[in-house]
């Protein structure tokens, strides 16, 4: 082998060796991961993190299923909502071809018989944009009928664009009605996050609370 050829071979060997020795880049941290606190120390109830909207005889409840939010709820609530998220997220991501969609548990309740509801009319307002659902997965039987009897509830998991930022103000719209409670909920979340960190530092989990019969339902959401 000629001297120029040997020189080129040595340079290539050194470059390849350097690439092999270089450590892999650290995976990027999700912004939501930075919001996580230790699990098992939250005390918030589901209604404390739920947006409520009324439209005529309809009462609509919208609960985010993002882990950094529900981890601040009481352990039994966190477990129940977390299981819903884990169950539906893979299907939603596959069907929408979207990574990290924002999932919400949504229920429609009627106070009078034969009340129609329109699932696709529910939308979010966030960062100056209006978001329509990417996918709606009915949970309760009868969801597809889109009519409610008196005192009846129908529940579904809604998927929205991952661009929805729950750390900013969030509105829920249905027809002409709108809920703007999220800023108050954010304040409650921030206060509870501080309390959770203090409890975790002391290693003292909150005392378990007595659950109501409604809360024992896996699809509990109507909070009147």
pLDDT > 90 fraction of the chain, expressed in percent and rounded: 73
pLDDT of residue 210: 54
Mean confidence (pLDDT) of the chain: 84
C-alpha dist (Å) from residue 65 to 27, 101, 104: 24, 10, 5
Handedness of CA 130, 135, 140, 143 (dihedral sign): positive
What pTM value is reported for the model?
0.80
Domain region containing 156: 35-206
The better pLDDT of the pair 197, 213 is held by 197
pLDDT of residue 214: 52
Residue 180 has pLDDT above 70, yes or no: yes
- 53: in domain: yes
- 56: in domain: yes
CA-nearest of 107, 127, 112, 142 to 182 is 127
CA-nearest of 163, 90, 158, 88 to 120 is 158
- 66: in domain: yes
pLDDT of residue 222: 46
Mean pLDDT of 145-153: 95
Q: For the chain, what's the residue count?
A: 224
Residue 219 has pLDDT above 70, yes or no: no
pLDDT of residue 18: 46
Is residue 34 within 8 A of residue 193, CB to CB? The reply is: no
Residue 160 has pLDDT above 50, yes or no: yes
| Residues 209, 224: Cα–Cα separation, whole Å | 19
pLDDT digits (tens, 9 = 90+) for 44-56: 999 999 999 999 9
Model confidence at 6, pLDDT cuts 50, 70, 90, reads: low
CA-nearest of 153, 154, 123, 161 to 138 is 154
- 96: in domain: yes
Per DSSP, helices labelled H in the chain are 3-21, 67-70, 75-96, 182-202
Residue 170: strand, helix, or coil: strand
For tokens 């203090």, the residue is: 198
- 45: in domain: yes
* Number of structural domains found in the chain: 1
CA–chain centroid gap for 200, Å, is 23
- 174: in domain: yes
- 41: in domain: yes
pLDDT digits (tens, 9 = 90+) for 62-91: 999 999 999 999 999 999 999 999 999 999
- 4: in domain: no
């Amino acid at each position: 082998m000629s001297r120029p050829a040997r020189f080129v071979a040595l340079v290539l060997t050194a470059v390849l060796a350097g690439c092999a020795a270089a450590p892999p880049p650290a995976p990027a941290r999700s912004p939501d991961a930075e919001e996580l606190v230790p699990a098992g120390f939250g005390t918030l109830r589901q209604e404390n993190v739920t947006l409520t909207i009324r439209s005529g005889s309809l009462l609509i409840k919208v609960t985010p299923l993002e882990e950094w939010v529900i981890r601040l709820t009481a352990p039994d609530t966190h477990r129940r909502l977390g299981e819903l998220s884990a169950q539906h997220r893979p299907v939603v991501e596959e069907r929408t071809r979207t990574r990290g969609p924002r999932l919400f548990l949504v229920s429609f309740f009627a106070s009078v018989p034969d009340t129609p509801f329109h699932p696709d009319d529910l939308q979010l307002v966030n960062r100056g944009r209006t978001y329509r659902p990417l996918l709606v997965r009915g949970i309760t039987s009868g969801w597809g009928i889109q009519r409610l009897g008196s005192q009846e509830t129908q529940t579904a998991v809604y998927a929205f664009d991952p661009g929805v930022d729950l750390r900013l103000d969030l509105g829920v719209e249905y027809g002409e009605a709108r809920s703007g409670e999220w800023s108050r909920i954010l304040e409650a979340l921030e206060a509870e996050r501080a309390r959770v960190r203090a409890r975790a530092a002391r290693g003292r989990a909150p005392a378990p609370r007595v659950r109501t019969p409604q809360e024992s339902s896996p699809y509990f959401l109507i909070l009147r």
